[in-house]
Amino acid sequence: VYDKLPKAEQDMIRAAAKNHHDVAVVVDVADYAAILADMGAHRGAVTLSLRRKLAQKAYARTAAYDAAISSWFAGQLGETFPPRLALAGVLRQGLRYGENPHQLAAFYVDGATRPGIATAEQVQGKELSYNNLNDTDAAFECVAEFDRPAIVIVKHANPCGVAEAAGLSAAWDLALRCDPVSAFGGIVAANRVLH
């Protein structure tokens, strides 16, 4: 694993990526098959286009490691808002579209295991959009604030129904009464298991 490598080996990965015109750098064992296929198709050589892809992955890996170190130092220094924030994410999935249908979007995660949309599993339905994820996150975070059984309905980043009651069924009835028109097509979150 890259983040467990000695500094000298990390520097070698950066150096290999920098020299990708002459070197193929591998930071992911999943790339071996592509390299072998490329070599088989090109008399033992790795094409420049594949070397560029491999270099990009190497730089992304070293950048993620540097971001983790930067975040650790910021925490040690008590900097809640450091002057420069470094982030690293792993592509979780492409999205159906961005905020509007003509926009591209993707969902990246940072590896945190905290309950939320980043650790949730989609059970059914069509591919999600940015708006679906945004609304789901807002509904999840809002409903998590309640101790009693609660329902939250969110549509286009706005709560259109929030209620708590003795049970989820009663909370649903109350939440839906807030704005039954806007609730259509919205995201519903519950803070208890539905039976």
Indicate which residues carry an active-site annotation: 18, 156
Q: Counting Cβ atoms within 10 Å, is residue 31 exposed (0-12), middle (13-18) or buried (19+)?
A: middle
Residue 173: phi, psi to the nearest 5? -60, -45
Q: What is the 3-state secondary structure (H, E, C) of 63-97?
A: HHHHHHHHHHHHHHCCCCCCCCCCCCCEEEEECCC
